[in-house]
Structure 1
Amino acid sequence: MADGQPQPAAPPQPQQPLLQCQKVSDIIRSYRPTKAFRPPKDAANSNYVTSLDFDDQGDYLVASGDDDTIQVFDIKEGKSTKSVPSKKYGAHLARFTHHSRQVLHASTKVDDSLRLLDLHNEGYIRYFSGHDDKVTSLTVSPGGDSFVSCAKDNTVAVWDLGSRNAQGRLKLATPYLAAFDPSASVIAIASQSTSSVLLYDFRNYDKSPFSTFDLAPHEERFTPSTRGRAWTRLEFSNDGKNLLVGTDFHGHFLLDAFEGTVRAFLVGKAGSPGRAAPVSTTGKPLGQGDACFSPDGRYVIGGSGDHSDMLVWDTQQAPEANGVLKPMTTLSHRGRTAILEYNPRYNMIASADKEIVFWLPEDGSRSSEK
């Protein structure tokens, strides 16, 4: 492998068994860091992980970094299996298709094309050209081979993996984030400058949105100093009931996915994770937001900003009278959590900043990080 393998943060220890049957509510408080993968020893100190994604089965994790590499990890084995260099084009927003050996990613150099990588032979299957500025969001349909990209050129493009040409395009103001609902029938697009989230029938995305959620009054209330900017994440819960709008600094909006009402504002962060997601204007490393839903849709897990912990919010808890929801628990960590993803099939979490950390529920054995 051209760029070397990441080094474990501690002497290798057996990977704890992955738990698939336990309810998230039974183990959510017991997550602990169990293994960490540091950048290669010869890497520059400035190298950061910029995206994480699991495949459909939860067996593999793919990560992109600002060192222009794509890393692949075997979850069951608890080890890195591949490091693919992308020195010419760069790599960001690496996303598995429904084939665990194929990964889509955005480019950070040369042009703004999307690229479909075959992990087996480390060659590109197809380029998807059409954006005139950096891609800010890349989301694959849970129901097929369609995917959607957003970019700084104020366009949203709809693609099919089988064709290099876009199937359609929307022109909107700052549509920097997009997300499919679990049924793959609705696409949500977040427009930062207009403080709105637009919902489209994906089969008729060329029509007007069937619903628009106006977050301006809620931004005035909860995030007045960053109104119209600093949105970092857009994600539906797997039960389709909630929609998460993550922000860089103050906290996260939990919306009713049908009505657009703000169910709660998730507080507890202590500053910014230090990333420029989804748009970089200050030279900060890129990212993809620092919060996500658990697979059962009940919990939101997020970074704590400047502090070295992870926060967990229970969306079934009633918010306080002022609309804020505080974390139900804090998961101790030694480093910043700038990016995180919850495994879709196993009780396992991956987080990252400069190094990638695997989290498992504590089973009484000693963590390999301590």
Structure 2
Amino acid sequence: MAEGQQSTPVPQPSGQATQLPQKLPDIIRSYRPCKSFRASKADNSNYVTSLDFDDQGDYLVAAGDDETIQVFDIKEGKLTKSVPSKKYGVHLARFTHHSRQVLHASTKVDHSLRLLDLHNEGYVRYFTGHTDKVTCLAVSPGSDSFISCSKDDTITLWDLGSRNPQGKLKLATPYLVAYDPSASVIAIASQSTSSILLYDVRNYDKPPFSTFDLAPFEELYTPSSRGRAWTKLEFSNDGKYLMVGTDYHGHYILDAFEGTVKAFLTGKGGSPGRAAPVSSTGKPLGQGDASFTPDGRYVIGGNGDEPDVLVWDLQQEREANNMLPPMCRLPYRGRTAIIDYNPRYNMIASADKETVFWQPEEPPRPSDK
């Protein structure tokens, strides 16, 4: 999306979409919360642990530590379905390319992945093989393949049509995984080695074709948390950038081809209080508190315990050592521990104890003369 006239529609509560002839930076600055939904109506202590939009941006799925999956209709602006998963628990809920199917990890009984049909609220298939907690799930943008990584030090490749693994890699602490937009490259982040490994999807059983060593950058930007506190791995939609989100200090924006730091996003006021993606400390689960906008120009993210959302403009001039402060802060009354940008519409979803919808404020209408 180029700077200038905004052409992406904004979903309205009535289901209608309108055009906003505003400059893109002005739209980004005008986002405000418009609706919120509590994770659990019965208990104020429950947290949302993951968020994901479907391909068309029409639905949002939220997993919670109350062991419930919530599905929201974006155009209608309402919660349409709540599916309990009391037996197995639920985390890292992800839409497949079929908007009525959700894939998720388990938090108890075993470490299987489960494919849920939202229409009849029944499980279509279980994917078994991991022997410890699943730390990340990534669905291929180009097929029904998906990847999981686990604390059992394995990366497993799957196909939605088969319960049996299609392939497996054994690596040291493969904590996070992401597909590039072309679905031809897999990025795997290993915290203990401070590295990111890039694999060709067609030759995943071969050594990585590239390795990014983040240790020197951690010494520069995050020396007190080297080798830990990574929370998010995400490619920008144009494939140019790879983001490594962290729990506290800020976020790395890497050149997706060379692995060099293009920017280190500063300004966070602390930790969101989540252990992402898995917890061994009793903290609530999470999936990272930063996300690219669909055009790849901006990153939106939480601000720890501070009650606002940060926006970074990757076209903005850097400070010393490529450090990049926020372009603006979007006011909010609570903490933002998870955030995601709708792939089609101008709206944001964020969460902590409640799921919040954000939309740009409409510009004032010119008065009739």
Question: What band does the TM-score fall into relative to the shorter chain?
Answer: over 0.9
2:297 alignment partner in structure 1: 298
Is 1:205 the equivalent of 2:209?
Answer: no
**What is the aligned-residue RMSD (CA, Å)?**
1.5
Question: Aligned residue for 2:357?
Answer: 358
Aligned equivalents of 2:338, 2:169: Cα separation in 1: 28
Structure 1 moving runs of 4+ over 3 Å: 13-26
Q: Distance in 2 between matches of 1:33 and 1:17?
A: 19
Q: Unaligned stretches of 5+ in structure 2? A: 1-11, 365-369
What residue number does 2:236 align with?
Answer: 237
> What displacement does 1:278 show?
1.9
Q: In the TM superposition, what whole-angstrom CA distance separates every residue of 1:48-90 from its partner, at most 9, and x where no partner exists?
A: 0000000000000000000000000000000000000000000
Mapped contact 1:341–1:349 kept (Cα < 8 A): yes
Taking the aligned partners of 1:16 and 1:362, their CA distance within structure 2 comes to 17
Alpha-carbon distance, 1:46 to partner? 2.1
Give the superposition deviation at 1:288: 0.2
1:278-289 to 2 correspondences below 5 Å:
278-289=277-288
Paired letter, 2:41 = K
Could you tell me how far 1:38 is from its partner in structure 2?
A: 1.5
Q: Which amino acid aligns with 2:267?
A: G
- Going from structure 1 to structure 2, the CA distance change for 1:179 and 1:14 (only over 3 Å counts) comes to closer
Q: Distance in 2 between matches of 1:227 and 1:103?
A: 34
Would you say the 8 A contact 1:151–1:175 is kept in 2?
A: yes
Contact 1:351 1:358 in 2 (8 A): yes
Q: CA deviation at 1:264?
A: 1.0
Deviation at residue 129 of structure 1 after TM alignment: 0.2
Question: Which residue of 1 is the match for residue 114 of structure 2?
Answer: 115
Partner of 2:192: 193
Q: 1:17 to 1:169 in 2, by over 3 A?
A: same
Per the TM alignment, residue 238 of structure 1 is displaced from its structure 2 partner at its CA by 0.1
Q: Distance in 2 between matches of 1:55 and 1:77?
A: 15
Amino acid at match of 1:190: A
Q: 1:241 to 1:285 in 2, by over 3 A?
A: same
Aligned counterpart, 1:270: 269
What CA distance in whole angstroms lies between the structure 2 residues aligned with 1:18 and 1:333? 25
1:236-286 Cα shifts (integer Å, max 9, x gaps): 000000000000000000000001000111001011000000231210000
Report the TM-score when normalising by structure 2.
0.93
Matched, 1:138 2:134: no
Is residue 99 of structure 2 the alignment partner of residue 100 of structure 1? yes
The amino acid that maps onto 1:129 is T
Task: Indicate the residue corresponding to 1:36 in structure 2.
Answer: 36
Does the aligned pair in 2 maintain the 1:136–1:149 contact within 8 Å?
Answer: yes
In structure 2, the CA distance between the partners of 1:27 and 1:107, relative to structure 1 (3 Å rule), is same
Give the superposition deviation at 1:18. 4.7
One-letter identity of the residue aligned with 1:323: N
1:7 maps to which residue?
none
Query: What do residues 212-231 of structure 1 show as CA deviations (whole Å, max 9, x unaligned)?
Result: 00000100111011101000
Q: What residue number does 1:178 align with?
A: 177
**Cα distance between partner residues in 2 of 1:97 and 1:190:** 23
Corresponding residue number in structure 1 for 2:77: 78
Distance 1:325 1:19, change over 3 A: farther
> Aligned AA for 1:181?
D
Report deviation, 1:322.
Answer: 2.5
Aligned partner of residue 164 in structure 1, secondary structure: strand
Q: 1:3 matched to which residue of 2?
A: none
In the other structure, the counterpart of 2:6 is: none
Q: Distance between the aligned counterparts of 2:216 and 2:16, measured in 1?
A: 46
Whether the 8 Å CA contact 1:105–1:116 is kept in 2: the answer is: yes
Say if 2:39 and 2:64, in contact at 8 Å, map to a contact too. no
Query: Partner of 1:166: helix, strand, or coil?
Result: strand
The question of whether the paired residues in 2 share the 8 Å contact of 1:19 and 1:346 is answered with no
Is the contact made by 1:177 and 1:234 (CA closer than 8 Å) also made in structure 2?
A: yes
Decide whether aligned partners of structure 1 residues 123 and 290 sit closer, same or farther in structure 2, where only a CA change above 3 A counts: same
SS state at 2:284 partner: coil
Map 1:40-59 to 2 at 5 A: 40-43=40-43, 45-59=44-58
One-letter code of the match for 1:89? Y
Deviations for 1:183-205, whole angstroms, at most 9, x for unmatched residues?
00000000000000000001111
Secondary structure, counterpart of 2:29 in structure 1: helix
Q: TM-score, normalised by structure 1?
A: 0.93
Deviations 1:327-366 (A, max 9, x none): 001100011000000000000000000000000000158x
CA drift of 1:25 comes to 3.5
Per-residue deviation, 1:316: 1.3
Q: What is the distance in 2 between the residues matched to 1:274 and 1:364?
A: 35
Q: Would the aligned equivalents of 1:24 and 1:296 in 2 still touch at CA under 8 Å?
A: no
User: Deviation of residue 16 (structure 1)?
Assistant: 8.5
Contact 1:178–1:190 (Cα < 8 Å) also in 2? yes
Paired residue type of 2:30: S
Q: 1:18 to 1:35 in 2, by over 3 A?
A: farther
Output the CA distance in 2 between the equivalents of 1:181 and 1:312: 23
In the alignment, is the contact (CA less than 8 A) between 1:20 and 1:347 conserved in 2?
Answer: no
Residue 323 of structure 1: aligned partner:
322
Cα distance per residue 1:165-199 (max 9 Å; x no partner): 11000111110100000000000000000000000
Partner of 1:214: 213
